Structure 1
């Protein structure tokens, strides 16, 4: 059954390799964007136990909070503001080892220490961003980037 996530151990790459086919199964045949974003956020949170995992959707001149897992979050983020708004403006993944050192970081929670933001780009336009926060410094790397970009590419928007 697609709703039964099999959480695996091992190194980071092995965990992603195990998780991606399961995410494909969750998304397969489901046309609803909110349902798909919610399940992807939940699958990532369940597998990795990160502090916060969620999506912000581009709506006009702002990113608006979408499905997420974790504590209450900022609702709206302007373009070029914080890590999410900067990733949106640059249409590129940002890895931030220490959010306190990022100019203009928006602190939705003081517990967040590092972050990765992956834009969901379709037809040359950013439609949403995947935002992942950790309570640990320097938690994310290029392995996370590669696999999270692969996961985001699976989402139909």
Structure 2
């Protein structure tokens, strides 16, 4: 049986292999959301990206994702995704209902992890948002694996 760390390393390699040479940010993010959902299944109830809107740099807009309908726009500083965008730090939330200002895009979500995605210049381009119907579904092992993947997404050639 493989460990969670091994699963993250495996999916990281898969994503890197598929996106190598791909210049489309949409294709890169779509690939990552698909492969993460495939690897972790239903534990990753909603898996996708909110991208920084180039016309409104303090606003996130839904990007490629796997799952139920997502919120279309999230302002920086609002909810878990907005907090990650505003602080530039991963948000690991065991119970989203206790998170101040949580945005309930789908009421079945109970825990969430949101990881900033930086472009090659080190500027925030998006956040990876993963929701689970389970409380406390994510831990520091998930954080480390997802941060490594997000570190590669827009920086590897």
Q: Matches of 2:92 and 2:8 in 1, distance apart? A: 17
- Shift in Å, 1:54: 0.3
CA deviation map 1:92-135 (0-9, x unaligned)? 00100000000000000011010000001244431110000011
Equivalent residue runs for 1:96-107 within 5 Å: 96-107=93-104
Q: Secondary structure at the match of 2:148?
A: helix
Equivalences, count: 149
With normalisation by structure 1, the TM-score equals: 0.91
Aligned to 1:58: 52
Consecutive unaligned residues in structure 2, runs of 5 or more: none
1:32 and 2:32 matched? no
Paired position in structure 2 for 1:94 = 91
Is the 1:113–1:134 contact (alpha carbons within 8 Å) kept by the matching residues of 2? Answer: yes
Stretches of structure 1 that go unaligned for 5 or more consecutive residues are 1-8
Q: Distance in 1 between matches of 2:70 and 2:29?
A: 16
CA RMSD of aligned residues (A): 1.2
Q: Distance in 2 between matches of 1:154 and 1:77?
A: 24
Counterpart pick for 2:139 among 117, 141, 157: 141
CA distance in 2, matches of 1:25, 1:143: 22
Of 114, 135, 149, which residue of structure 2 is paired with 1:151? 149
Partner of 1:108 in structure 2?
105
Secondary structure in 2 matching 1:63: strand
Give me the whole-angstrom Cα distance separating, in 2, the residues matched to 1:10 and 1:155. Answer: 24
Q: State the distance in 1 between where 2:72 and 2:101 align.
A: 17
Instruction: Give the equivalent residue in structure 2 for 1:6.
Output: none
Give the Cα–Cα distance (whole angstroms) in 2 for the partners of residues 71 and 20 of structure 1: 24
TM-score, with structure 2 as normaliser: 0.91
Q: With CA pairs under 8 Å and 6+ residues apart, which has the higher RCO, 1 or 2?
A: 2
Counterparts of 2:122 and 2:154, CA distance in 1 = 14
